[in-house]
Structure formats: structure tokens, C-alpha cells
Amino acid sequence: MPRTNRTGRGGKAPRHIRLYHWMTNSPAWHDLSAAARAIYCEMAKRYAGDGSNNGRIPYSVREAAAELRISPATASRALKSLQHHGFIVAETRGAFSLKKRHATEWRLTEFPCDVTHALPTKDFMRWHPGQKIQNTVPVVKLPVPVVKPNDTCGETDVAEKQRDGIRSETVRANFQDSQFHQRHTTSLPGYSAADEQRDIEQAPNNAHPEIKLD
């Protein structure tokens, strides 16, 4: 037998939407835009109560844009905001590849899930200002060879030696051959200071050592 009120009338109350103070006073609700709040009310209108369709509530961006008379871009941002703040969760994504179009099916975290029969998660109560989605893309750092300042040819960093070892060893060998040639030429009989100056001018600029005359 249905309950009666003081007027003697009974029966179920008509369908309605309840917005509890503990939810609307939360930081997550205060951070929502006007469009996001309006969309949440429209989605709550499609919820039929406990044991009905939470987790299977259809709602699309086009429907939100048409009902609220806003652009599809604004409706899409509002739906993403509701997800980010923890008010709704997409249980089944909509697709146009099927024979019959269907919108994404949502679950309101305020109520129990009628698909898995899980308790209300109320994710929005754990949201706090400044919370952002973390970037999970790893940052890759490439190795860069470092060359020591004021260094001579053939005395570069280890990485440079490993990359171009043949060239470094060749330059060092040429430098040693030049030193050997100049050291033994100055000791020949009849070798004058003019001959030495001529050999110095003809030698490479970075290959000859400093020679002192007696």
C-alpha cells in the first residue's frame, strides 16, 4: 500500500533532479563552468533512479550543443571538464562505424553503478584546485659530445676520439713526424739560421715547435 501524505494523497513523487549541498559546495563544482553545470543537469535528467541505467546514460556532444544552444566545441570542452573533475565517467564510447549510431554511455559518479553494481565513487570529492593531467610522454635526452676549451688537435674529448679515432691518430702522427724532422735537421753541418727560418715558414702553422738558437 503506498504511503500517504498529510493531504491524504499518495503515490510516487514525479521525477526530479536533486543537487545536494555537499556536492554543489565542493571545490570541483565551484570550478566548473556554467555550460558544464548545465550539461550535468541534463545528464542527470536521464538517470531513472537506483537499479536503472547509471552507466548506460546516453549523451553526445551534438545533443549537448542542441539542448543548451552552444557550439559543439563548447559542449566538448564542458564534457571533458566534467570528466576531469570526476563527475562523469565514459563507460562505452560512441562510434559511427556501427550500422546504428549510438552516443557515448556515461556513469554519474554520484550514484551507484547499475552495470557493475559498484558503490558510488564520488571522484569529484577528491578533486582539488590546481590538479592537472600528468604528461606521461618520456623526455629523451640525446648525448652531445663535449670538447674541452683551449685544446690541441688530437686531444679532444673521449667521445670525439671514439667517433673519429682514425683522424685524431693521423693528426698526432703527422705532428710527431714534423717534430722529428725539425729536431734532426738543425744538427746537420752547414745548416744556417736562414735555412732554419725558411723551414719554419714552409712548415704548417700548428705543427712546428719552438726552436732556440745558441
68-97: pLDDT as tens digits:
999 999 999 999 999 999 999 999 886 645
Q: Is residue 9 part of a domain?
A: no
Q: What is the pLDDT of residue 158?
A: 47
Residues 59 and 152 in one domain: no
Query: Which residues, 6+ apart, have CB-to-CB distance to 182 below 8 Å?
Result: 199, 203, 208, 209, 211
In this predicted structure, the answer to whether residue 99 has a pLDDT above a threshold of 60 is no
Residues 105 and 174 in one domain: no
Q: How far apart are CA 46 and CA 53, in angstroms?
A: 8
- Percent of the chain past pLDDT 90, that is, above it, reads 44
Which of 94, 126, 158 is the last residue before a domain boundary? Answer: 126
Amino acid 56 reads R
Q: Is residue 185 part of a domain?
A: yes
Q: How far apart are CA 208 and CA 70, in angstroms?
A: 81
In this predicted structure, the answer to whether residue 211 has a pLDDT above a threshold of 60 is no
Could you tell me if 52 and 114 are in contact, meaning their C-beta atoms sit under 8 angstroms apart? Answer: yes
Q: What is the average pLDDT score of the chain?
A: 75
Q: What is the pLDDT of residue 11?
A: 62
Q: What is the pLDDT of residue 137?
A: 38
Residues 105 and 161 in one domain: no
Residues 100 and 156 in one domain: no
Cα–Cα distances (Å) from 170 to 154, 173, 177, in that order, read 8, 5, 11
CB under 8 A, 24+ apart: contacts of 107-111:
107/54, 107/55, 107/57, 108/43, 108/44, 108/47, 108/54, 108/57, 110/23, 111/47, 111/50, 111/54
Between 8 and 28, residue with greater pLDDT: 28
Q: How far apart are CA 151 and CA 171, in angstroms?
A: 14
Look at the block and give the residue holding cell 604528461. Answer: 135
Predicted confidence band of residue 203 (pLDDT cuts 50, 70, 90): low
- Domain holding 181, by residue range, is 140-214
Residues 48 and 119 in one domain: yes
Q: At 92, give phi and psi (nearest 5°).
A: -135, 120
Q: What is the pLDDT of residue 8?
A: 59
Residues 115 and 146 in one domain: no
In this predicted structure, the answer to whether residue 37 has a pLDDT above a threshold of 80 is yes
Q: How many domains does the chain have?
A: 2
Predicted confidence band of residue 32 (pLDDT cuts 50, 70, 90): very high
- Percent of the chain past pLDDT 70, that is, above it, reads 53
Write down how long the chain is: 214
52-69: pLDDT as tens digits:
999 999 999 999 999 999
Q: Is residue 134 part of a domain?
A: no
Q: Is residue 35 part of a domain?
A: yes
Q: Is residue 4 part of a domain?
A: no
Specify the DSSP class assigned to residue 126: G
- Mean pLDDT for 185-196 is 61
- Residue 108, classified by CB atoms within 10 Å of its CB into exposed (0-12), middle (13-18) or buried (19+), is buried
Q: Is residue 184 part of a domain?
A: yes
Which of 92, 126, 160 is the last residue before a domain boundary? Answer: 126
Q: Is residue 201 part of a domain?
A: yes
Between 8 and 51, residue with greater pLDDT: 51
In this predicted structure, the answer to whether residue 191 has a pLDDT above a threshold of 50 is yes
Q: How far apart are CA 112 and CA 53, in angstroms?
A: 10
Please count the CA atoms within 13 angstroms of the CA of 17 that sit on its side-chain side: 13
Which of 62, 97, 126 is the last residue before a domain boundary? Answer: 126
Residues 111 and 32 in one domain: yes
Q: Is residue 12 part of a domain?
A: no
Q: What is the pLDDT of residue 175?
A: 47
